[in-house]
Amino acid sequence: MTEKMTDIQVRSDEARRNFRELLDQVARGYHVTIQRYDKPVAVMVPVDWYEDAESAWGAQLEKDAGEKP
């Protein structure tokens, strides 16, 4: 799994204007938090990080489902 690098936080209007540059940062391993009205609404992460997190979440859901009576 990709190690999380320093988060980058941007407002949604900045993200729209600088999308290509933000994608470059994500490709380097950064996580970009996009804010609207000073509240986080989305996070851009590298694909391998996302896939690892999704896989771990799915495994946890399967484990939880197996523990129910």
CA-based nearest residue to 28, from 8, 50, 5: 5
The string of pLDDT tens digits covering residues 38-63 is 999 999 999 999 999 888 877 676 66
pLDDT score at 66: 74
What would be the CATH architecture of the domain defined by 8-67?
A: 3-Layer(aba) Sandwich (3.40)
User: If pLDDT is split at 50, 70 and 90, which confidence band does 2 have?
Assistant: very low
Confidence of residue 5 (pLDDT cuts 50, 70, 90): low
**Total Cβ atoms within 10 A of residue 1:** 11
Q: Which tokens go with 20?
A: 């290509």
Domain boundaries, the chain: 8-67
In angstroms, what CA-CA distances link 13 with 1, 6, 19, 57? 30, 21, 10, 31
pTM comes to 0.73
Percent of the chain past pLDDT 70, that is, above it, reads 80
**Per-residue confidence band for 6, with pLDDT thresholds at 50, 70 and 90:** low
Contact between residue 10 and residue 35 where contact means Cβ atoms under 8 Å apart: yes
